[in-house]
Amino acid sequence: MFGYFERLVDPYTPYEETDTPPTRLAPFLWDYTRPFHRIFAVTAGLSTIVAFIEVALIGYLGRLVDLLDKDPSIFWADHGVELIAMAVFFLTLRPVIQTAHTALLNQSIMPNLTALGRWRAHRQIMRQSIGWFENDFAGRIANRVMQTPNAVASVMNQFFEAVAFAAAYLIGAFILLADADLRLVLPLLAWFIPYLFLLRWVIRRIKPASQASSDARSVVTGRIVDGYTNIHAVKMFAHHDAELTYAKGAIEVSRTTLMREMRLYTIMDLALVFLNGVLVVGVVGWALSLWLGGLASVGVVASAAALVLRLNGMSGWIMWAVSQLFQELGVVAEGLETIGQPVTLTDAPGAVPLQVTSGQIEVTALSHHYGKAKGGLDQISLSIPAGQKVGLVGASGAGKSTLIKLLLRFYDAEGGTICVDGQDIAGVTQGSLRQAIGMVQQDSALLHRSVRENILYGAPTASDAAMIAAARQAQAHDFIKVLADAEGRSGYDVRVGERGVKLSGGQRQRVALARVILKDAPILLLDEATSALDSEVEAAIQDTLETLMQGKTVIAIAHRLSTIARMDRIVVMDDGRIIEDGTHDELLALNGRYARFWARQSGGFLGDDT
């Protein structure tokens, strides 16, 4: 039975992705819950039936009380069949309806809607650009991806389990009392109208209060995760107390916002106690007065009393459920601030895969200032023939890394073009562009997975033999085969920890290099590729890099000029412009900026002082 209901909706069903997801609450909920619309309709119908059954049973209780006033000797003969039918209904049909209703909520909707929301939210977030991620906390993004879909599922659960049920129950209560005596509806109305005003008062205040609390919780999560992620820096600079103070500030803001939110619930409870007193006294008192006047039977009094006592218990639950519903809507609204952001770095309409024939790179009038007045690149043009190895030199902030990021299309250039083999990279798919480029960075963070999975990230379909060959070429195989962890894993199965923290800097760099070797892309980018290595390993790796660079177009950034000097060509950058271009010997003969770098280098490194 469970499996049937759990398979009614596939949370991973194909859907049309959009670069501009809904940012308003109602369209977002409608779009995200689209695969569940039929299930929602059935659940709403069952909620109504369950509520009407509950009211009908109370009405039947009144009838039963009146029937008991008859002669016991003829009671069973007159009403035995009726009682047997009610017993059968209680034991068969009612449990079936109730079970179907509960199973739809608990098996079909809650787990699948949460999974669908998280899957689609994660897919949407993963399509965002590098720049988008750089403007937010990873912890806060992850928190919103996790809690927003869960809040959507809670909204739907509260709606069907409380709101739809309560609405049907109240309608049934009005019908039951009106059928017994129309005047009994008056005290119910005297309670219901103020109850609606109280509900409206709570709803108008609970949503912004809940959103403020959710925002505050996200800030707490972001600060705590930021500290955990950078725990090495925290310990290194002995900022334990400062980090606690930093987190405490966010926790205190979260506490005060939550206190303001909880005040609303306290006011709601106090008002509800008074209103429920009016309900019980009004309906039961009126029913008793009608009975005293001979205008109502004992059964009417019994059913009216049972009904209002049930409403007395339900009213608090309804109010709480509705407020929780709007609280969760506040969480969803807060999550939309992240999930609902448009994807701005997209493939052009009709984008085609990049076809690399030789690896020639042509940069024309390229400008990018990150939306600022200065910085980045300013009108640079650069032609790199296929197979040429180019070194980029310049002080920090000269624009070297910006050029690399634009070549990878981590950002869209504000002006100019970059072409690979005559194809403007703005017109090709991002995936195919990055598949054609291998990159080794100064800080090569690894995934919190096994060594094997990290190396195979460069070519997921590669064989183990090819993976080990790449590790050998990167001088990594010898240290990998002796690795072991506390879980009993060894060698290539050892997990490297978050960002590879369980490995030394040199070990991480060699694993990252093995990943790029395995990828074997026609264009190679080296950004301080050997900076984390000791001299002995670096010497071995340099030979590996020489082999790796054969037949590839290479752009290398390094502060070790001895490394750059071996390149076919050296481009010197300053303040976002190319100021010198030539071979090592040509630039030394020019006696310009590069020659001064070479003369002033200390221990083979390029200093920032120009």
pLDDT digits (tens, 9 = 90+) for 389-421: 999 998 888 888 899 999 999 999 999 999 999
Mean pLDDT on 190-199:
84
pLDDT: which is higher, 133 or 203: 133
pLDDT: which is higher, 156 or 66: 156
Report whether 597 contacts 420 (CB < 8 A): no
Contacts of 436 by beta carbon, 8 Å cutoff, 6+ apart: 354, 356, 420, 521, 522, 523
Percent over 70 (pLDDT), the chain: 96
380 has a pLDDT exceeding 50: yes
User: Which of 163-167, 292-296, 310-314, 446-450 is the most confident on average?
Assistant: 446-450
For 497, left (φ over 0), alpha (ψ -120 to 50), or beta?
left
Residues 176 and 261 in one domain: yes
Residues 371 and 327 in one domain: no
What's the gap between Cα 190 and its chain centre? Answer: 46
* Within a domain: 575: yes
CA-CA distance, 466 to 517, in Å (whole number)? 10
User: What are the C-alpha distances in Å from 177 to residues 53, 166, 174?
Assistant: 15, 16, 5
pLDDT per position as a tens digit, 75-106? 778 878 888 898 898 889 989 998 999 899 99
Contacts of 358 by beta carbon, 8 Å cutoff, 6+ apart: 386, 387, 421, 522, 553
3-state helix, strand, coil in the chain (%, to 5): 65, 10, 25
Rounded to two decimals, the pTM is: 0.76
Residues 72 and 218 in one domain: yes
pLDDT bracket for residue 604 (50, 70, 90): very low
The CATH number of the domain holding residue 528 is: 3.40.50.300
Residues 497 and 557 in one domain: no
CA-CA distance, 391 to 567, in Å (whole number)? 6
- pLDDT at residue 203, rounded to an integer: 77
Residue 137 dihedral angles phi and psi, to the nearest 5°:
-85, 135
* Within a domain: 35: yes
* Within a domain: 540: no
Mean pLDDT, the chain, as a whole number?
A: 85
pLDDT per position as a tens digit, 34-77? 999 999 999 999 989 988 888 888 888 888 887 777 777 787 78
Residues 563 and 418 in one domain: yes
Contacts of 594 by beta carbon, 8 Å cutoff, 6+ apart: 393, 570, 572, 580, 587, 588
CA-CA distance, 203 to 429, in Å (whole number)? 46
- pLDDT at residue 609, rounded to an integer: 41
- pLDDT at residue 418, rounded to an integer: 95
* Within a domain: 9: no
pLDDT per position as a tens digit, 461-496? 999 999 999 999 888 899 999 999 888 889 999 998
Residues 260 and 365 in one domain: no
The CATH number of the domain holding residue 334 is: 1.20.1560.10
Residues 235 and 371 in one domain: no
* Within a domain: 59: yes
193 has a pLDDT exceeding 80: yes
Residues 131 and 263 in one domain: yes
Mean pLDDT on 198-205:
82
**Which residue type occupies 421?**
D
pLDDT per position as a tens digit, 316-337? 777 777 777 877 887 888 888 8
- pLDDT at residue 538, rounded to an integer: 66
pLDDT: which is higher, 535 or 375: 375
Domain count, the chain: 3
* Within a domain: 16: no
Residues 79 and 99 in one domain: yes
pLDDT per position as a tens digit, 353-362? 999 999 999 9
* Within a domain: 13: no
- pLDDT at residue 558, rounded to an integer: 76
- pLDDT at residue 114, rounded to an integer: 92
Instruction: For residue 51, give its domain range.
Output: 23-339
- pLDDT at residue 580, rounded to an integer: 93
Both tokens assigned to 137: 């906390």
CA-CA distance, 576 to 168, in Å (whole number)? 68
Residues 307 and 370 in one domain: no
CA dihedral (319, 322, 326, 329) in degrees, to 10, reads 160
Domain boundary among 278, 306, 339: 339
Q: What is the 3-state secondary structure (H, E, C) of 443-485?
A: CCCECCCEHHHHHHCCCCCCCHHHHHHHHHHCCCHHHHCCCEC
* Within a domain: 7: no
Residue showing tokens 């806060």: 140
Residues 111 and 40 in one domain: yes
Residues 472 and 598 in one domain: no
Mean pLDDT on 586-608:
75
